């Protein structure tokens, strides 16, 4: 396993690599290549402007890929195969319906429409409305998602599926659509399922659990109240996240609920530590990750600040018994965060 500093360097500086990302758009960090290096899964930025200047590079030698830092060979990079992308659904690649991220994480944005964007309250890190090429779909039919998941899961049964969406409305926020997708998948497949959604009424969490969702992500994004209205102007308050986490933990179980906490958006170090403590105390997995600008974004995160935050987290982590045994979703993939490596350090 990589040490958390090395993984953070790759996540922030990227890799100068001769390969293209499998996942080209949708919710969450984009522009990265999934690989495994020394047992750590990494979703490494390659399409961002700064990746070509990174001290890390990927080199192909005798049909294998190796990662170097300057002239030091760190090891062989395992890259996942995605032959299911060749399968077509209504003339469109199955990979456009359900992409492969990290090493074994399937992900689909059920809808790329978001009411926050429509209301002029877009999250500053979001790129769900970008890169909408001809072979990407704004609204996906549950049957088409099922077909894509089926061929992807048959190719490799170690895979798990994450359902994401833009916030389609301010009531169920996509939960009803997620439930329909999960119910269709559960008719034939036993693939682990994860859903990511904003805080909603408890009955929608119960609906998702009954539909077959195994784990759930309710992403607060930042605990810094001074910048929250700038970072996520349309999202609920932190208090609403606390209530949603409590409801979800009661329904899905301890450590089956997670939340992203981004580092590098102008928040204070203290707010990240507070977020880690509050989530851990509520049996919510704190998925702490450095902000990754999209390929359309010319910002760059301050590595020294991110490292300082993680060093501070390392000082307190042993006071909390965070369990990282997620069945499906981001904490299982681990590609965008060094939290697993930090907790093991």
Kindly tell me if the per-residue pLDDT of 246 is higher than 90. Answer: yes
Mean per-residue pLDDT of the chain: 95
| Number of compact structural domains in the chain | 1
Tell me if 105 sits within 8 A of 160, measured CB to CB.
Answer: yes
Kindly tell me if the per-residue pLDDT of 295 is higher than 90. Answer: no
Range of the domain at 322: 4-344
What average pLDDT does range 88-104 have in this prediction?
95
What's residue 131's pLDDT? 56
DSSP assignments along 79-99, one per residue: ----GGGG-EETTEEHHHHSE
CA distance 232 to 214: 27
Kindly tell me if the per-residue pLDDT of 342 is higher than 60. Answer: yes
Confidence of residue 129 (pLDDT cuts 50, 70, 90): confident
- CATH of residue 53's domain is 3.20.20.70
What token pair was written down for 268? Answer: 């204070």
Lowest mean pLDDT among 121-135, 150-164, 314-328: 121-135
What average pLDDT does range 243-259 have in this prediction?
98
Confidence of residue 137 (pLDDT cuts 50, 70, 90): confident
What's residue 79's pLDDT? 96
Helix ranges restricted to H, 172-327:
175-186, 202-211, 228-231, 238-252, 269-281, 303-316
Using DSSP, state whether 340 is helix, strand or coil.
Answer: helix
CA distance 239 to 249: 15
How big is the chain, counted in residues? 345
What's the pTM value of the predicted model, to 2 decimals?
0.96
Bridge partners, 43 (sequence order) = 34
């Amino acid at each position: 396993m990589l040490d958390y500093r090395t993984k953070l360097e790759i996540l922030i500086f990227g890799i100068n690599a001769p390969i293209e990302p499998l996942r080209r758009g949708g919710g969450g960090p984009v522009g990265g290549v999934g690989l495994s290096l020394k047992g750590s899964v990494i979703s490494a930025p390659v399409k961002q402007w700064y990746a070509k200047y990174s001290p890390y590079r990927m080199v192909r030698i005798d049909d294998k890929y190796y990662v170097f830092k300057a002239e030091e060979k760190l090891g062989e990079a395992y890259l996942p195969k995605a032959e299911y992308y060749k399968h077509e659904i209504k003339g469109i690649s199955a990979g456009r319906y359900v992409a492969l991220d990290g090493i074994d994480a399937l992900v689909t944005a059920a809808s790329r429409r978001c009411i926050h964007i429509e209301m002029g309250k877009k999250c500053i890190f979001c790129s769900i409305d970008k890169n909408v090429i001809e072979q990407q779909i704004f609204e996906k039919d549950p049957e088409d998602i099922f077909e894509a998941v089926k061929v992807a899961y048959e190719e490799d049964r170690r895979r798990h599926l994450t359902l994401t969406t833009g916030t389609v409305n301010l009531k169920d926020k996509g939960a009803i659509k997620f439930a329909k997708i999960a119910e269709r998948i559960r008719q034939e497949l036993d693939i682990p399922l994860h859903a990511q959604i904003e805080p909603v009424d408890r009955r929608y969490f119960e609906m998702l659990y009954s539909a077959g969702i195994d784990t759930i992500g309710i992403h607060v994004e930042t605990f810094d109240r001074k910048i929250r209205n700038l970072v996520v102007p349309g999202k609920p308050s932190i208090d609403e996240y606390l209530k949603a986490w409590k409801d979800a933990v009661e329904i899905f179980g301890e450590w089956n609920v997670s939340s992203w906490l981004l580092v590098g958006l102008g928040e204070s170090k203290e707010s990240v530590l507070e977020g880690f403590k509050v989530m851990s105390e509520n049996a919510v997995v704190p998925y702490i990750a450095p902000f990754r600008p999209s390929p359309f974004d010319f910002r760059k995160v301050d590595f020294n600040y991110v490292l300082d935050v993680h060093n501070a987290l390392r000082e307190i982590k042993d006071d909390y018994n965070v369990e990282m045994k997620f069945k499906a979703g981001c904490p299982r993939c681990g590609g965008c965060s060094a939290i697993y490596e930090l907790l093991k350090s």
